[in-house]
Structure 1
């Protein structure tokens, strides 16, 4: 897989970010029993904030069930928020009435994980791609519609005669290309990729990742790339946000995350990524215990029940996502301790052999 044009470099900010999420919360009530009463609340997303610049890729990573996909669906307004704000190009959309929001939906589109179930099996490719173009009035004539359909097929590198075929006639990778073409049909500014390559074979996965990178460079798209595959994320992102149990615990440029993680959970995730060189040394970190229930998350730091470095403060006080280095945020009490007591900041060795903290 090719890396982005400027690997590890965040696009220079140009005014208002295309997407800003502020203290996003989504709680799902549990209902059951004879009278259908509430049996508690699932804290799926609990205070998430980030922004995405135009032309930037922000990857949202973490274990299954950490709330990544819920964030994507909340941004798309597929359900109402419990609290927080979502701003598209500076305009708040989380409280916007459906009729007012509808024209703005064109600017943010989604590519789903399963390319087969996300396509209507009763619609030919032509009809599936033409639907958003017609809905948003982007092609005033039949000739303009045909030209746009041909452009979309060329863009995702599929033959034009595939427009007349059915979804079941394509391979998984081809169907995902059709899904990308359908998302591009609305001419969006922001593309949300929800595990968009996790269901594909390795070679096909690389092709789709390269395609997304090329499309971003050509069209200036912003990407919210939701994934649990850190090997893919390392190749295509500008910044990484690491989620654990509904909260972002670390947010930094790609190079900083992969070279020097500042949160124990990120450190453990990276230790599980297969190394490219057989036999290369890597210390695998095995987390003890299971992920706590989002119905009753632990007090203090939510990771303290599995953290190898946890101390008393972690069990009672919630850490704040704060800068540890320029552009690098982490929510960990270890960074308030002296460097010599912080295992996430290994001591540096001076040229004369003395130790630096």
Structure 2
């Protein structure tokens, strides 16, 4: 079996809390990511899902070294990159690119599209002449299905979906192996989301790209991903191939997320799984299972012992003390 393109081993990212003018305290930490492990193969899409604030984007930024890693390992194609110096990191940064949530704020409003796309090609020395540079830039517009005569325009002259296509083209300009899509479609209209998702899938097949797709939109995730990793309060609580996650979740939190997904069939009946309370603070996460303060199936062991992420069936991993979830109608139950 081929080695994975990306390996993340026990990744941790803790942010120190510093004092300010009104509070001289400090010394605490925000446990944004607290022991995350997964792999991504070449040409595979792994979706990282969960509520806002669970640490999804921090994982993506740590992999890209936009944030330094507190502990753990990030290995790209057999080379550990979390400890590389800036000079050595620059040599392989071309292989990891990102598409951010807001396409307008991530594009320089003063530059024309031609210059935006040419910048990574120049930075990484991917064109030997001006003519080759121009041809690569024009080909990128074809790849993301934008007209070549738009190269002279600036970002504000495009719609949101078109701007996101430009961001994707900029990421492709570096000829990467891995693209991190950080909520790349969440700011777009529904019809435009579908177009961008279809474009990403086509590009993945054409170039053999690996995608880390960070999202809270499970309907989009179900359509495009190969595997899903569910995060809660800095940890992965379940990971499995797409069909297993959506057909038979093994963690109560996954079940709650799926029960909240709207169903297009007006005749369908199911009972949503309503979670009580708020997500605990990542500054002081609960002992034991981090989900126990909201879990409808909690018992005493959950409050003291942290469950391991272990394999339940072939390919499906869950961090829960329950061997199996109760079979409730519609995959959802009230929290009482």
Equivalent residues of 1:263, 1:344 under 8 A apart? no
Equivalent position to 1:196, from 184, 194, 202:
184
Indicate how the Cα distance of structure 1 residues 344 and 17 shifts in structure 2: closer, same or farther if over 3 A, else same. Answer: farther
Hey, what does 2:325 align to over in structure 1? 343
1:155 and 2:155 equivalent? no
Hey, what does 1:21 align to over in structure 2? 8
Equivalent residues of 1:111, 1:196 under 8 A apart? yes
CA distance in structure 2 between the partners assigned to 1:238 and 1:343 by the alignment: 24
**Residues 303-351 of structure 1 deviation map (CA, whole Å, 9 limit, x = unaligned):** 000000000000000000000000000000001xxxxxx434679xxxx
CA distance in structure 2 between the partners assigned to 1:227 and 1:344 by the alignment: 27
Equivalent residues of 1:262, 1:344 under 8 A apart? no
Hey, what does 2:107 align to over in structure 1? 119
1:312 and 2:312 equivalent? no
Equivalent residues of 1:59, 1:237 under 8 A apart? yes
CA distance in structure 2 between the partners assigned to 1:250 and 1:257 by the alignment: 8
Hey, what does 2:333 align to over in structure 1? none
Equivalent residues of 1:300, 1:317 under 8 A apart? yes
1:143 and 2:125 equivalent? no
1:122 is paired with a residue of what secondary structure?
coil
Indicate how the Cα distance of structure 1 residues 36 and 129 shifts in structure 2: closer, same or farther if over 3 A, else same. Answer: farther
Measured after TM superposition, the shift of residue 155 of structure 1 is: 0.3
Equivalent position to 1:218, from 206, 211, 214:
206
Aligned ranges 1:230-245 → 2 under 5 Å:
230-245=218-233
Hey, what does 2:268 align to over in structure 1? 280
1:266 and 2:261 equivalent? no
Equivalent residues of 2:251, 2:325 under 8 A apart? no
Normalised by the length of structure 1, the TM-score is: 0.90
CA distance in structure 2 between the partners assigned to 1:131 and 1:32 by the alignment: 40
Equivalent position to 1:133, from 100, 104, 121:
121
Normalised by the length of structure 2, the TM-score is: 0.96
Measured after TM superposition, the shift of residue 33 of structure 1 is: 3.8
Equivalent residues of 1:241, 1:250 under 8 A apart? yes
Hey, what does 2:40 align to over in structure 1? 52
**Residues 105-159 of structure 1 deviation map (CA, whole Å, 9 limit, x = unaligned):** 0001000000000000011000000000000000010110111011100000000
CA distance in structure 1 between the partners assigned to 2:25 and 2:127 by the alignment: 50
CA distance in structure 2 between the partners assigned to 1:285 and 1:214 by the alignment: 35
Measured after TM superposition, the shift of residue 36 of structure 1 is: 5.2
Q: Which stretches in structure 1 are left out of the alignment for 5+ residues? A: 1-13, 336-341, 348-357
Measured after TM superposition, the shift of residue 57 of structure 1 is: 0.1
1:30 and 2:17 equivalent? yes
Indicate how the Cα distance of structure 1 residues 115 and 156 shifts in structure 2: closer, same or farther if over 3 A, else same. Answer: same
Equivalent residues of 2:250, 2:325 under 8 A apart? no
Hey, what does 1:67 align to over in structure 2? 55
Measured after TM superposition, the shift of residue 39 of structure 1 is: 4.7
Hey, what does 1:352 align to over in structure 2? none
Measured after TM superposition, the shift of residue 246 of structure 1 is: 0.2
Q: Which stretches in structure 2 are left out of the alignment for 5+ residues? A: 330-336
Tell me how many residue pairs correspond in the alignment. Answer: 328
1:306 is paired with a residue of what secondary structure?
coil
Give the 4+ runs in structure 1 shifted more than 4 A.
Answer: 34-37, 344-347
CA distance in structure 2 between the partners assigned to 1:110 and 1:283 by the alignment: 38
**Residues 240-293 of structure 1 deviation map (CA, whole Å, 9 limit, x = unaligned):** 000000000000000000000000000000000001211211220100010000
Q: Could you say what the CA RMSD is over the residues aligned between the two structures, in angstroms? A: 1.3
Hey, what does 1:338 align to over in structure 2? none
CA distance in structure 2 between the partners assigned to 1:24 and 1:143 by the alignment: 43
1:102 is paired with a residue of what secondary structure?
helix
CA distance in structure 2 between the partners assigned to 1:251 and 1:312 by the alignment: 25
